[in-house]
Amino acid sequence: MKTKPIMLDRARTLRKNMTPEERKLWYLYLKPHPAKFYKQKVIGPYIVDFCCPFAKLIIELDGSQHYLEEGERYDKRRDKWLEGQGYHILRFSNYEINRQFIQVCDMIEGTVDERAPLRQPSADTSPQRGEARNQ
């Protein structure tokens, strides 16, 4: 399936205008991670926040719009389609990124290890306690 130029333009705009929580997760954890992650990646008819193709893992950060009835319905349809493509989806609230960052990173790391066990051993990329708390 060829990606529509409008989707690529939208993804590019989203990459340039990440939320503070997206920037925090990207720069402090996902960008330096040894398993390659992409931000604002087009997958079929959707743009996901973060994707690790090697582990078939999608990470979504949910702001307040995701907790409204319409947002929840959209997310369910979207998740069903993405899971049908073999992806596993982890969702975190902005609160979790801001207040439980170490636990979020640990959950991502465990999921990558579980879904891509043949990955080369690497240095621990989890932030050290206190390192990212006030950012």
Question: Residues 76-120: pLDDT tens digits?
Answer: 999 999 999 999 999 999 999 999 999 999 999 999 999 987 655
> Which domain covers residue 102, as residue numbers?
5-115
Question: Is 125 domain-assigned?
Answer: no
Question: Is 129 domain-assigned?
Answer: no
Q: What is the CATH number of the domain that holds 49?
A: 3.40.960.10
Question: Is 120 domain-assigned?
Answer: no
Question: Is 14 domain-assigned?
Answer: yes
Question: Is 124 domain-assigned?
Answer: no
d(CA 35, CA 63): 26
Number of domains present in the structure of the chain: 1
Q: Say which residues have a Cβ less than 8 Å from residue 71's Cβ, sequence separation at least 6.
A: 65
pLDDT, tens digit (0-9, with 9 covering 90-100), for 14-49? 878 899 999 999 999 999 999 999 999 999 999 999
Say how many C-beta atoms besides its own lie within 10 A of residue 131's C-beta. 12
